[in-house]
Chains A and B, each alone.
Chain A
Amino acid sequence: MTTAATVHEGTDSPYALSHLDALESEAVHIFREVAGEFERPVILFSGGKDSIVMLHLALKAFAPAPVPFTLLHVDTGHNFPEVLEYRDRTVAQHGLRLHVASVQEYIDAGKLRERPDGTRNPLQTVPLTEAIQQHRFDAVFGGGRRDEEKARAKERVFSLRDEFSQWDPRRQRPELWQLYNGRHAPGEHVRVFPLSNWTELDVWQYIEREKIELPEIYFAHEREVFKRSGMWLTAGEWGGPKESESVETRLVRYRTVGDMSCTGAVDSDATTLDAVITEIAASRLTERGATRADDKMSEAAMEDRKREGYF
């Protein structure tokens, strides 16, 4: 038998964990705390890399037993087909249970109205919060990282939401040691972020180390795209391109995976994990800054949405 931890040579003792081992251990601890303290936890799973890593960690945390949580996906109706296919395959492979909250159904039922700009990310909040109430979820895991965006950087690992799913940055509990306080009143829930202390590069290095499969759109491929607000968007039925915008075929990949209407691709020839990691490490732009139109709507777009219950 051997120890699996990477032993660091040099100034540190043989008991020093590599940064990935330390982050993994911390995330697993968070999953197990929630399993031990909550009645009805759920993992928000979109088929994006952060939620994929989150699910991978949950699988490891409870092995050889199954993950004691269900999954929830808020489907905007504008998702990439490759990602939905990946989502369903993963759910089947691990024998998981998936709840889908559909923005399209809300629009069809007249409960939500399509925005003039066609962007559906902000519309996710209502289906998400209603699904949480309907299923009485008391802990909701999200893949958010503190390095992502300045509003996310304020988030606790255990973040209490009121009965309207609202986030109040002024009333957050101090988080001391590894003692997470998950107390909540009936109707309230806690958003839990096991990847809080990870960076984008950590996520990619972990994906490489653990040989985790990803949807293909994370790797460079030829795609029909058009330019809007300085980003390459995928042409599709959701409402692009407009007459003034022209489609061209480019070699691109995605750094994040979200709603098609506001997630931009980046020019890239990175077709392997190694190449992606090299590209990320050398990038001079933040992940969301490069590829998320909805974060750019206003200075506090993310914070405003989070206050309303968005992840």
Chain B
Amino acid sequence: MTTTTGQLSGISATTLLRFATAGSVDDGKSTLVGRLLHDSKSVLTDQLEAVEHASRSRGQETPDLALLTDGLRAEREQGITIDVAYRYFATPRRRFILADTPGHVQYTRNMVTGASTAELAVVLVDARNGVVEQTRRHAAVAALLRVPHVVLAVNKMDLVDYAEPVFAAIAEEFTSYAASLGVPEITAIPISALAGDNVVEPSANMDWYGGPTVLEHLETVPVSHDLTGCHARLPVQYVIRPQTAEHPDYRGYAGQIAAGTFRVGEQVTVLPAGRTSKIAGIDLLGESVDIAWTPQSITLLLEDDIDISRGDLIVPSGDAPATTQDIEATVCHVADQPLTVGQRVLLKHTTRTVKAIVKEIPSRLTLDDLSQHPNPGQLVANDIGQVKVRTAEPLALDSYADSRRTGSFLLIDPADGTTLAAGMAGDSFATSAEVVHEADDEGWDF
């Protein structure tokens, strides 16, 4: 077995890409994951020996890389891993955190979990089957979670004679569907995970394809976005007040920048109270800087001594979100117990947790065809639906379309602390014309 890339050269400064895979086992997802891990030297001797041994005893001539994720499958049989597994690998150009999500229909919540932190999603399709319901479901989740980059990996090209028209038809159908949902960037790549075509090495079997391999694309896709157009947001996590002889008056507002950039001298407003001040200084973990951006963890110093505590949101004065107690959002229900109209819950938004009540569940979404079913009364595990929630205190909430971090929230059961639902404020999909909204938009001001 050859190793094409090594951790050794990963020593220099590299960036980090978080991505998620989606696709059922039959689509060859474990083989693709296995190949990415193996060819990036993230599979070490003992693990590989186990795979080679198992493959040989099954009469296979070459190691079956799907067996690298076989442990996962065994655990799933025991009922442990109906869940996301995180895997790590590196190349000289970049480090990767892979959220490996089970592909079964009933595990929508797992793909939502994996996609929530992903910059990129790989959707696998079997070249023989083309775009199927499951594919549309994966595209819809990627669009719903606003994953910035989507890769369509058309797998098993070896089983369709590496025929360009087969790939082209699937790529076109998927791209037009995903684009209609508002997926901003789609890259289609013809591969054979089993044979290794276009995963790490360019395929000699598909001369007609001139694009990047999967790994090359993962290595080069931008991990940060143009921040100039972003609304700057700093949720206050913790107030740092040393009250020591050395720092008697230090009062810093610590937090991780959720979106955009902050500069010294900038006029800011603290929400929900609405007080204003000016940024006097920014501490970037012990170093004084004059500009900081997402996702840096910083400490902000303000010119005026105003009342600010955990849960407040610091924003540029000219760019503040509206505060509201009535939230309309799309939620994915992730708990086994249902979410019902009238239920009292806790809502965690950035660093703020408030009491809330589910006022309405206007519709439940069917991911297969994006149809809306009005007034389902409740949402159960893996359901996606629109909800209207009234909170006990005003929240400064962005639309999820504008900011994944300040537009998202959790609904929590106050009785036992269970995470009930993952919420995304605002319209479900980037092109809302595709979705029929039966609910009225009253009180919705984003």
Contact = CB atoms under 8 A, between A and B. Distances in A.
Nearest to A274: B11
Contact of A201 (B7, B109, B286): B7
B28 interface: no
Contacts of B285: 4, 24, 28, 60-61, 63
B246 A64 contact: yes
Interface in B228-253: 237-238, 240-244, 246-247, 250
B417 interface: yes
A65 B44 CA distance: 42
Contacts of B410: 176, 179, 181
B256 interface: yes
Interface in B1-46: 6-8, 10-11, 13-16, 44-46
Interface stretch (B110-118, B135-143, B355-363): B110-118
29 contacts: A1-B264, A1-B290, A2-B289, A5-B284, A13-B225, A13-B226, A15-B227, A17-B224, A17-B296, A19-B15, A25-B295, A29-B256, A29-B297, A32-B256, A60-B285, A64-B244, A65-B244, A65-B247, A65-B250, A146-B88, A147-B88, A173-B418, A176-B419, A183-B412, A201-B11, A205-B11, A281-B10, A281-B11, A286-B44
Contact of A35 (B238, B243, B288): B238
B97 to A, nearest CB: 6
A5 B225 CA distance: 16
A147 B88 CA distance: 7
Interface in A171-213: 172-179, 181, 183-185, 196-197, 199, 201-202, 205
Given A60-B285, A61-B297, 14 more contacts: A4-B284, A8-B15, A11-B220, A16-B224, A19-B16, A25-B297, A29-B297, A33-B237, A63-B286, A175-B113, A178-B256, A184-B417, A285-B46, A286-B44
Contacts of A154: 75, 80-81, 83, 85
B279 to A, nearest CB: 13
A29 B255 CA distance: 7
B46 A12 contact: no
A25 B296 contact: yes
Interface string A238-271: 0000000000000000000000000000000000
B408 A285 contact: no
B170 interface: no
A133 to B, nearest CB: 19
A136 to B, nearest CB: 18
B334 A65 contact: no
Interface of A: 1-6, 8, 11-13, 15-26, 28-29, 32-33, 35-36, 60-66, 146-147, 150, 153-154, 160, 169-170, 172-179, 181, 183-185, 196-197, 199, 201-202, 205, 277-278, 281-286, 289
A26 B110 CA distance: 22
Nearest to A172: B83
Contacts of B11: 201, 205, 277-278, 281
Given A60-B286, A65-B240, A177 B404 contact: yes
Contacts of B46: 285-286, 289
A310 B381 CA distance: 31
Contact of B416 (A19, A33, A150, A185): A185
A64 B247 contact: yes
Dominant SS at the A interface? loop
A36 B86 CA distance: 27
Contacts of A32: 237-238, 254-256, 297
Contacts of A289: 44, 46
B95 interface: yes
Q: Which of A33, A63, A150 has the most CB of B within 10 A?
A: A63
B222 A4 contact: no
A153 B222 contact: no
B59 interface: no
Contacts of B15: 8, 12, 16-19, 22
A36 B88 contact: no
A190 to B, nearest CB: 10
Given A1-B290, A12-B15, A150-B71, A65 B242 contact: yes
A36 B238 contact: yes
B409 interface: yes
A33 B247 contact: no
A7 to B, nearest CB: 9
B42 to A, nearest CB: 9
A202 B47 CA distance: 21
Given A33-B351, A201-B90, A153 B224 contact: no
A64 B250 contact: yes
A62 B298 CA distance: 10
Contacts of A13: 222, 224-227
B219 to A, nearest CB: 8
B86 A197 contact: yes
Interface string B281-306: 00111111111111111000000000
B113 A169 contact: no
B8 A285 contact: no
Which of A4, A205, A283 has the largest count of B CB atoms less than 10 A from its CB?
A4
B79 interface: yes
B297 A28 contact: yes
A245 to B, nearest CB: 24
A126 B82 CA distance: 30
Nearest to B14: A19
B215 to A, nearest CB: 14
Nearest to B281: A1
B149 interface: no
A16 B294 CA distance: 9
A66 B79 CA distance: 43
B223 interface: yes
Contacts of A179: 348, 350, 408-410
Given A20-B13, A289-B44, A177 B408 contact: yes
A177 B80 contact: no
A181 B254 contact: no
Contacts of B293: 15
Contacts of A183: 346, 412, 416-417
Nearest to A24: B285
B7 A281 contact: yes
